[in-house]
Amino acid sequence: MSPTPDRTQIPIELSHLGDNPRVLVRHGGAPRRPARCVVYWMQRAMRTVDNPALEVAIETGNLLGLPVVIFFGVVPNYPNANLRHYHFLAQGLRDVREDAEERGVGFVVRRHPENRLDAFLEEVQAALLIGDENPCREPERWRTVLAGRLKIPYWTVDADVVVPSRVFNRSFVLLHHFRPRLKAELPKHLVPLKGIEPLYPWKEHKSLASFDLSADITYGFTKLDRTVRAVDSYTGGTHAALKRLREFVRNDLAGYDESRNRPETSGTSRLSPYLHFGHISPLTIALAVKKAMNEGKISAVTEERFLEQLIGWRELAVLFVRHEPNYDNWECAAPWARKTLLEHAADSRPHRYTFEQLERAETADELWNAAQRQMVSTGWMHNMMRMYWAKKILEWAPDPATAFDWAVILNDRYELDGRDPNGYAGIAWAIVGKLDRPWFNRPVFGLVRSMTAASFAKKFDADAYIRQHPSTKA
C-alpha cells in the first residue's frame, strides 16, 4: 500500500502543488540551495506528451528558476523482463530523447552499473526529485527505499491513470460499485493537460555522460532471457502509439461496439502495450475518443463502452493492485471463490497438461492453442481470448493456485503488456473470481464463471481466428 501524503512537508514556494491529488511527498523538506536543476526520474511514464509527472517537474523548475533533466536508469534485472520487453522499451526511449529536446528538457540514460540515481542527483546538484508511480510490488519497494535514503525532497506523481488513485484510496469488489465514484470524479480530470513551457531550458553538458540509444541497451546483460525475442508486430514509442491511435479513431472506432468482441477482426485499439510502457497516456486516448464523439463520428454508446474499458476496468485494476498485496497469486481470491474452488479441487478434469505443454500450445483445444500462439508470436492477445485462455488453464492445471501461477508466468513472459495491473486483475477475475460475482455451480469451477469451447466459439468466427494463428510445426 502506498505511503500517506504529508502536505505539510511541501515548501511554501511550491505549496500550491500540494493541492494536486496526483502528488505524493515521499521525502519532504526544502529544495537544495544552491542547485543546478530539477530531476525527473522517469520509469513508468515513458513519454513527454500528457505526462503529469513531467509537468509537475517543469512547473517546479520554473518556480525555482531551474531547468529540468529527465533521468532514466536501465537495469539488467527488471523483474520478469526479457529481450522482447527491453527491445520495445529502447524504441520508446528514442522517442523520449527526441521529444524532450524539442521541449527544452534534458534527457540522460545510463546503464548498470553507472545508473545509480542517488549518485546522479549529486552529480547534477539536483534541487529535488520528481518521480512517477507504479503500484506493483518491486517498483513500489524501490521508491520506498529511495525515499528513506535521499537528502533532498522526493515527490512522486500518479501519471498512469486519468483519475488519481488516491482520490478513491480503496479498492472495489465489482465494477458497478466503482462506476458511480468514477463518474463523479471524471469531469474534474478528463480535461486536456496544460503543457507547461520550461522557462529555463536545459543546456547540454558535455561532461554529463548519457548512453547512446543507437546501441544495444542490453549489451552485456548476461542473465537476460533472450529466448523470448522481439516482435515486429509492434514498434515501441510515443510516435508509434499516437499513429496507432489516429488509425484506430479513423478506421475502427465507429465499429468498436460491434467488433470489440470479435477476436478474428482488428476492431480493438491494440494500445495496451503502449499504455503499459507509458508511451501514451490514457488521457490522450480518452480525449481523442471524446473528440470523435463530439464531432459526430461515433455514437455516445460507443464512447461509453470504450471509455469503460480504458478507464473503468483499467483503473479498477490499478486500485486492485495498489490495495491487494497478493495481486499476482492465488491468495488474492475472493472468499466465495476460494471456498468453492477448494470444494471442487478433487473434481475430475477432462484434460491435464503440464506447463511446458501449455507454453508450446500443445492441447486438444485448437482455439486455446491459437490464443497462446498469438501471444507468443505477436506479444499481444485479444482481450476476449485472454478470458478464455485463463479459464482453460484453471480447468487443466493441477489446482487453482498452480493455474494462477502458470497464467502469470506466461502472461508476463510473452505479453508486451504483461507485468501490469491490467493483466493481474484479468487473471484474478478469470481464475479466482476477483472483481466478479458467483455464477452457476459447475465441475472444477464451482461458482466461478466458466467458459466452454462450444459456447465461446459461437460468439465469433473461431475458425477464422484459428487460421490466423496456425501451428508452425510440420
CB 67 within 8 A of CB 200: yes
Alpha helices in 415-456 (DSSP H): 421-432, 453-456
Nearest Cα residue to 398 out of 439, 447, 368, 355: 355
Q: CB within 8 A of 49, min separation 6: which ones?
A: 99, 238, 242, 280, 281, 284
pLDDT score for 206: 82
By the 10 Å C-beta count (0-12 exposed, 13-18 middle, 19+ buried), 81 is classed as buried
For residues 470 and 474, what is the distance between their CA atoms, to the nearest angstrom? 11
How many whole angstroms separate alpha carbon 176 and alpha carbon 174? 5
Residue after which a domain boundary falls, among 139, 162, 185: 162
Q: In the numeric block, which cell numbers belong to residue 249? A: 479513431
Asked, for residue 263, whether it belongs to a domain, the answer is no
Asked if the structure places residue 18 within a domain, the reply is yes
How many angstroms separate the first and last alpha carbons of the chain? 50
According to the model, what pLDDT value does residue 9 have? Answer: 59
Which of 103, 129, 162 lies at the terminal end of a domain, its last residue?
162
The β-bridge partners of 314 are none
pTM over 0.85: yes
CATH number of the domain residue 384 falls in: 1.10.579.10
DSSP state letter for 224: S
pLDDT of residue 410: 98
Ordered mean pLDDT values, 10 residues apiece, the chain (474 residues)? 52 78 93 96 98 97 97 95 98 98 98 94 97 97 96 96 97 97 97 96 91 97 96 97 98 95 94 98 98 97 97 98 98 98 95 98 98 98 97 97 98 98 98 97 97 92 96 74
Cell representation of residue 250: 479513423
**Cell numbers that stand for 218 in this block:** 542490453
Residue 212 lies in a domain: no
Omega within 30 of 0 (cis) for the link into 139: no
The strands making up 154-157's β-sheet, listed across from edge to edge, are 23-27, 154-157, 126-132, 37-41, 68-74, 106-111
Surface-to-core class of residue 442, CB atoms within 10 Å of its CB (0-12 exposed, 13-18 middle, 19+ buried): middle
Q: What CATH number does residue 102 fall under?
A: 3.40.50.620
Phi and psi (nearest 5°) for 342? -65, -35
369 phi and psi angles, rounded to 5 deg: -60, -40
**Distance between CA atoms of residues 416 and 45, nearest Å:** 15
How many angstroms separate the CA atoms of 2 and 134, rounded?
A: 10
Give the C-alpha separation, 402 to 344, whole Å. Answer: 15
Q: Rounded CA gap, 474 and 468, in Å?
A: 17
- Residue 187 counted as domain residue: no
Residue (of 9, 6, 130, 109) closest to 59 by Cα position:
130
Q: Tell me the C-alpha distance between 269 and 380, whole Å.
A: 12
Residues in a beta bridge with 107: 70
Between CA 471 and CA 474 the distance in angstroms is 8
pLDDT reported for residue 207: 86
Q: What is the CA radius of gyration of the chain?
A: 23
284 lies in some domain: no
Q: What angle do CA 103, 104, 106 make, to 5 degrees?
A: 110
C-alpha distances out from residue 72 to 103, 217, 258, 280, Å: 17, 12, 41, 17
Boundary (domain end) residue, out of 144, 162, 180? 162
Which one, of 68, 113, 110, lies nearest residue 93 by Cα?
110
Cα–Cα distance, 405 to 397 (Å, whole number): 10
Q: Identify the DSSP state of 332.
A: G
Residue 339 lies in a domain: yes
Q: What angle do CA 141, 147, 151 make, to 5 degrees?
A: 155
Count of domains forming the chain: 2
- Return d(Cα 434, Cα 321) in angstroms, integer: 12
Residue 52 in domain: yes
Q: Is residue 259 part of a domain?
A: no
Domain, as residue range, for 121 = 7-162
Q: How far apart are CA 262 and CA 256, in angstroms?
A: 10
Under a CB-based contact definition with an 8 Å cutoff, are residues 25 and 151 in contact? no
**What is the structure's pLDDT at 166?**
96
Cell of 186: 471524471
